[in-house]
Amino acid sequence: MASAFFYQFAMSFSMTEYKLQYFNIMGRAEPARLIFAYAGVQYVDERIEKQAWPEIKKATPHGKLPVLYVDGKQLAQSRVIERYLGKVFGIAGENDWEIAKMDELVACVEDFLIEINPWFKEQDNAKKVEIFKQLCESTIIPFITEFEGLLAGSGTEFFVSDKISYADLAIFHIFWFMNSKILPGSLCKFPKLYEFVEKISAIDSIKSWINSRPKTEV
């Protein structure tokens, strides 16, 4: 009976058609891609080139990407997409408290990304270096330190419970990106976060996605 149940459970995903539409970068869509990878669910990873964006923009819900298509229906806003996929694939918490804590943590990640956005957008290299120096002291190091403490205080290997969640994957992405792209090796002084990133990186489906995904700078 159990095997029949899980077969039907898996088949329900395979019967749904998913498409994730975003630019050819990791950016705002990468946590959703990681969720698909972890769940082992097939989807169309549609990557939009910048020259095609003005025309495609007209067909998006709010003139922004990413957009998730579920059997042709559109869902926008990256964090909403992540929460939706987490719920559908069973990694969005088991009670109202866990759900709320996941929302809280993802909101903290969102606040962090907004704070460092000026660095991403700056085109002048000299100004970019100066902005980065300021952000390291005011934002980046405090953010890493805070999440090191949160993970240490969780009492588990993950942030909310003893099971991986969509929030863990969103948090994993930002710290993987930080350790690999922004401040290479920065997590060496933060053992809990370092172990967290290494553990998720080693999950077969996540490792496979990281090794096979298009190589982009951001």
Predicted confidence (pLDDT) per residue in 119-132, tens digit: 988 989 899 999 99
Give yes or no for residue 1 having a pLDDT over 60: no
Catalytic-labelled residue, pool 18, 38, 43, 119: 119
What is each CA distance from 65 to 12, 30, 54, 59, in whole angstroms? Answer: 26, 12, 12, 11
Q: Which has more pLDDT, 122 or 20?
A: 20
Q: pTM score, two decimals?
A: 0.91
- For the question of residue 28 being annotated catalytic, the response is yes
Q: Sketch the domain layout of the chain as residue ranges.
A: 2-90+207-212, 96-202
- For the question of residue 213 being annotated catalytic, the response is no
Rounded distance, CA 20 to CA 75, Å?
10
Tokens (6 digits) for 140? 């980046």
Specify the pLDDT at position 183: 87
pLDDT digits (tens, 9 = 90+) for 24-80: 999 999 999 999 999 999 999 999 999 999 999 999 999 999 999 999 999 999 999
Specify the pLDDT at position 217: 87
Domain 96-202 has CATH 1.20.1050.10: yes
The CATH classification number of 2-90+207-212 equals 3.40.30.10
- For the question of residue 22 being annotated catalytic, the response is yes
In the chain, DSSP finds a helix count (H) and a strand count (E) of 10, 4
